[in-house]
Amino acid sequence: MSSTDEQGLQAKTDTPSGEELTSELLAEFHEANRDNELFASTEDPEFEFDESGLQLASKEDLAREQAGEIAFRSGAITPEGLIEDDFEKELGTPSDAEDNDESEFRDVAQYRILEVAGDDTYGRKVIVASACRLPPSSQINHERLMEYLKYTLDQYVENDYVIVYFHYGLTSKNKPKLGWMLQMYRELDRKYKKNLKALYLVHPTNFIKLLLNIFKPFISAKFGRKIMYVDYLHKLKEHLHFDQLVVPSLVLEHDAKILSAQKPSYPYSSDESEAAVHNPKQQFGVKLQQILQNYKCVIPPVVEICVEFLRKNALDVEGIFRRSANASVLKDVQKRFNQGETVDFDEINDVHIPAVTMKTFLRDLQEPILTFDLYQPVVRLHTLEEDRQLIEVQRLFREELPKENYIILKYIIHFLTQVSQYSDSNKMNTVNLAIVFGPNLLWPKGQANLSTIGHLNSFAAYLIDNYTQLFVR
């Protein structure tokens, strides 16, 4: 067996070669496209797919693919993925019938193919898609799947967002048809692509790279630059809060096997976390009590500095807290805060930097402001009668939320009520603010999903709308 064969997961003996696969795929693609009947096609070529993730093309095929000019890349966040100039003037709000809509797609949602995983390190919503959770094609209507995909994205596309796609687990039994894939790309029009800042393809196989190359004539160069290949899960840590990602166990096991077999260099060590423990000025990624004790303060300096600047300069800024910001500036600001410096945001001249910095601080805490203990009571709150909800939240704040957490939460929510009062100009009403801050104020020790994210957002909105009644001490 050649070294090339040994590096990849082996296909079955009757699997076509890379050249045969390329030829058949192109033949199907061009034949259907020539007659403008790609979407009407119901048959795919009869390929055998290996059950480990469609590892079909040879290295020679990929070398020929990469020899030409190709839009896709690997490694870093795309520059235009940090700040979008043509920001939507009107920010959407979730439908009042959101729960009913979710029930409408229960037949698809039950498979948990899509999950929402909070925000990334730049303050953008993260949506996770897992191929291994696709049921056999005979058990799911792919048109319904497309409708559900659009329904899910509709809740977030008017803000900056990213998608993480776990490719492992796509097999001959559950793969959608080629025509469906191209139809999906076409139906997800500019509305969906504009604010998509990154599409991470995790554990990409030669097949998916080949497929993207075939679709290249239909994919804009700008969109192509947002696509990033991620070979190992740990490489996501540079851009995402890995602990909040919804990673299926099959994907975790597959990644462990790859790491064991190929032994890549691991770019993260315990040095960084150990340094945070020994650095008394550290504010990001540590326990709240550590900050309060080391700085001898009531409100963490990063929160107070961000809030006071935003209160004076950004209450009427359209889309405040909904826009992402320049990554290098954000990292520099975090570094300066972690060194105990006082950051002057007037010198930076970008109100979105303190807005994202504040969100990042909250999400990077080792335990959320509302604490892990309050997660289940908050998620169950919607089951109570309306008059009982107020009493229960007051009790949680009085009896279960630590006093220092309560004071900081009160400070933040009071500020958000002020932001919401300018919603006519900043487009940030209570619901929009709740979508942004819900997952940053509370999250579980494990993994969240679409249904619980909705409850967290509703709770954040409840806090803002009922501030004077809830924060009575």
pLDDT in tens, the chain (473 residues): 444 333 333 333 343 444 444 455 555 455 445 444 444 443 444 433 444 444 443 344 444 444 443 333 444 333 333 333 332 333 333 334 344 445 688 899 899 899 887 778 777 888 999 999 999 999 999 999 999 999 988 888 887 889 999 999 998 899 888 788 878 878 887 888 888 889 999 999 887 788 777 776 667 778 788 889 999 998 888 778 777 777 899 999 999 998 888 776 554 444 444 555 568 999 999 999 999 999 999 999 999 999 999 999 999 999 999 888 888 899 999 999 999 998 999 999 999 999 999 999 999 999 999 999 999 999 999 999 988 999 999 999 999 999 999 999 999 999 999 999 999 999 999 999 998 999 899 988 866 665 688 899 999 999 999 999 999 88
**Long-range contacts at 74-81 (CB < 8 A, ≥ 24 apart):** 74/228, 74/229, 74/230, 75/228, 76/228, 77/122, 77/197, 77/198, 77/239, 77/327, 78/197, 78/198, 78/225, 78/226, 80/222, 80/225, 81/197, 81/198, 81/226, 81/324
Question: How many other CB atoms are there within 10 angstroms of residue 432's CB atom?
Answer: 26
Give the C-alpha separation, 180 to 147, whole Å: 12
Q: Residue 59 has what pLDDT?
A: 42
Pairing outcome for strands 227-230 and 161-166: unpaired
The confidence score (pLDDT) of residue 30 equals 52
Q: Which pair of tokens denotes residue 8?
A: 């990849």
Rounded to two decimals, the pTM is 0.64
Rounded Cα gap, residues 204 and 70, in angstroms: 16
Q: Which residue has the tokens 């029930």?
A: 103
CA–chain centroid gap for 279, Å, is: 30
Rounded to the nearest 10 degrees, the angle between the axes of helix 178-187 and helix 18-34 is 60
Task: Report how far residue 371's alpha carbon sits from residue 361's, in angstroms, rounded to the nearest whole number.
Answer: 15
Contact partners, residue 2, CB within 8 Å, separation at least 6: none
Cα–Cα distance between 204 and 232 in angstroms, integer?
10
Closest by Cα among 197, 199, 120 to 160:
197
Place of tokens 């290295």: 59
pLDDT of residue 306: 97
Distance CA 266, CA 277 (A): 21
Q: At what angle do helices 352-364 and 301-313 cross, to 10 degrees?
A: 150
Query: What pLDDT, on a 0 to 100 scale, did the predictor assign at position 330?
Result: 92
pLDDT at 84: 35
Q: What is the C-alpha to C-alpha distance for residues 289 and 276, in angstroms, rounded to an integer?
A: 14
DSSP class of 50: -
